[in-house]
Amino acid sequence: AGGRSLAHCRLVDVASASNFHSFKLRHFHLDLHLNFAVKRITGWQVLELTPVQPGVQSLILDTHSSLLIHSVDCKVPGASGAPDVFLSLTYRIEPFTDYGSSLNISLPAAVIRPHRAFRVTIRYTTTDGPAIWWLDAELTCGQTRPLVFTQGHSVCNRSFFPCFDTPAVKSTYSATVRVPEGVTVLMSASRSAYSKQDRVFQFSMEYPVPAYLVALVAGDLQHADIGPRSRVWAEPCILTCAVSKLGGNVERWLNVAEGLFGPYVWGRYDIVFLPPSFPIVAMENPCLTFIISSILESQEFLLIDVIHEIAHGWFGNAVTNATWEEMWLSEGLATYAQRRITTEAYGEAFTCLETVFRLDALHRQMRLLGDNNPVSKLQAKFEPGVNPSSLMNLFTYEKGFCFVSYLSQLCGDIKRFDSFLRAYIEKFRFSSVIAQDLLDFFLGFFPELKESCVAQREGLEFERWLNGCGPPLCEPDLSAGRALTGPVQHLCDHWGVDAPDPQVISTFDLSSWSTFQTVLFLDRLLDRSPLSQGIKGIVHPKMKISPLFTHPKAILGIHSFFQMNPIRVI
């Protein structure tokens, strides 16, 4: 049910050293043994490939200097019923960038037959690469047993296994993982089998995914079901808290999303909470969202981030940006979808409050970077050698969201735009796309808009949205959130004057404020720094305040956490 294939397109991905255009990757299998004592993974990978171009003499994969390649073998089906042929292949590793190398495997003529499949087996050992995080027991939440997890976004998984490390290539995969006693393994796939005696876990992902969405976590993990297709995984010491925070909400959110965008195709939607050393807030690995345990401190931020990762089940995982230069195709659409879900589930005012908070952060980043900084482009061009992760910023999310909101505004009816998004997912499911695919499909879905030349509307040209620097060309109407954002701004206005009146400030009831209102207030207050008086000096004894304002560590903690994590990678 996918859209067009990119296999024959001359799409350029400067972050990949591979010759992914030359082959169709149908499937790959990982057979891994996790050694916690030496912090290494040993095993092999089998790739099922078919040449799609004539004259190919080598297979080039992305790898990393931390991967120790031991051997490369090939299995070629025999002709006319003859036995399969096994060949040992020569290879060389060449430098590429500071975040990766290339594995160049020579392919003899007996292997390369147009459109005839063959298998390559690579035996290797991981060492200290950027994708794999080994945590000693004292760095985990429970501080009793070690834990390991992987993080593939954007181009880290080439240090986990050799691959076509580009979002343009998708394939199914399977895995067999061997671990010591007392260790549970989870992956971004369905568990297909488990042998308790041998401590062997087997997994299968039946839908095509890009390499960066292959993920693994192993350690002292327990689970609790929170819905018919969802469970929470965590270390025992935080499992009860995680379950109580999520309750039965996940199934509710999934149902709302399905009503908007069509069926959730990944089967399970499980969540694993990882120690605070997890390098990002959350990651939308299929079947299994990875999320930092620190998020449990805030019910509202937990809600938003889980819903955002749910939205990625459609936007990012099912339909993926073909290059890292257009990450907004995943993040901007997922942010829009997240806000459609929260609007349906919690009302427009709540969604507007969260959006105001994020757009405030976007404009704050804009002031720091300047209006002409090229990283503010939705189509962010980057030179060879630049790590795509360095392009992750709020523009990918919020400027992308504003563009999608503008498209919704053009069609005049949000429900019609919901129908468009469902059709877009149906058209391109399990494909990787570029911005032109989305926009061409949009104009084809709404021919009256194409006839009125909305793509060339002065000042709001699609090309300017994509390649213009600076803030969004327009922002959605957020006036529906004034009941929540108005008190925040009023208190900021009173608190920010040279001589704030404590009697006036005492009339504000902050005890009922939400986390988003509190953090929005702190952000806007600090935007006015330096303040005329300290916070403790201006708090009136009769003022009804949240505990956040009575504990300095709480103020600094929540503010610094969300300032350092303004985006939810992913």
Which candidate in 212, 397, 406, 424 is catalytic? 397
Question: 309 an active-site residue?
Answer: yes
d(CA 326, CA 335): 15
Asked about 269 being catalytic, the answer comes back as: no
* Residue 218 near residue 34 (C-beta atoms within 8 A): yes
Q: How far is CA 354 from CA 53, 315, 349, in A?
A: 49, 20, 9
User: At a CB cut-off of 8 Å and minimum separation 6, what does 528 contact?
Assistant: 492, 496
Q: Which of 162, 251, 139, 257 is nearest to 214 (CA)?
A: 162
Among 91, 212, 235, 309, the one annotated catalytic? 309
Residue with tokens 């490390």: 165
312 marked among binding-site residues = yes
Amino acid making up residue 317:
N
Structure tokens at 450: 């194409």
Pairwise CA distance, residues 81 & 173, whole Å: 27
Phi, psi of 128 (to 5 degrees): -95, 75
Distances (CA, A) of 232 to 74, 78, 188, 301, 481: 40, 47, 14, 17, 32
Kindly state the tokens that stand for 257.
């999303």
Find out whether 308 is annotated in a ligand binding site.
yes
Rounded to the nearest angstrom, the gap between the alpha carbon of residue 309 and the centroid of all alpha carbons in its chain is 7
Contact 212, 285 (CB under 8 A): no
CB atoms within 10 A of CB 248: 9
Query: Taking phi first (over 0 means left), then psi (-120 to 50 degrees means alpha), and beta for anything else, what does residue 347 get?
Result: left
Q: Enumerate the known binding-site residues.
A: 308, 312, 331
Q: Enumerate the known binding-site residues for Zn(2+).
A: 308, 312, 331
- Mind telling me the catalytic residues? 309, 397
